Amino acid sequence: MSFLGWFRRNKVDPEIARRAMLLQRGRIGEATILDTDVDPEGHEILSYCYTVGGVDYETVQRLNEEQLSRKDNYLPGSRVDLRYDPHRPANSIVV
């Protein structure tokens, strides 16, 4: 197999790879849930904010199946764990 063939064969969804990296190597922090909503495609969306190094971040995330099974943990005002990339703190996920 050629060098380029190896890369073509191993295509991974970038969002899955990002989540896996954060779960494995991301630092743990705490977020505050701002709101939940449903996007036009019918997926549950979570808005949250957190602070790293004195900088405030606010972002959204689509809830996965496991998170949907415990939606009561994501009520507005709730404090939840998150994982973030210490080199790019804006890159985060609620766990």
What domains are defined for the chain? Answer: 3-94 (2.40.50)
For the segment 70-91, the average pLDDT, to the nearest whole number, is: 96
Which residues make beta-bridge pairs with 26?
none
**What residue ranges in 26-87 does DSSP mark as E strands?**
27-38, 44-52, 55-62, 79-85
pLDDT grade for 52, boundaries at 50, 70 and 90: very high
Q: Does 5 score more than 70 pLDDT?
A: no
The pTM of the full predicted model, rounded to 2 decimals, is 0.84
17-45 tens-digit pLDDT: 999 999 999 999 999 999 999 999 999 99
Reply yes or no on whether the pLDDT at 91 is more than 80: yes
CA 74 to chain CA mean position, Å: 13
Question: Is residue 87 scored above 60 in pLDDT?
Answer: yes
Specify the DSSP class assigned to residue 78.
-
Q: Average pLDDT of 3-18?
A: 72
Look at residue 4 and tell me whether its pLDDT is greater than 90. Answer: no
Answer whether 13's CB lies under 8 Å from 64's CB. Answer: no
pLDDT at 6: 54
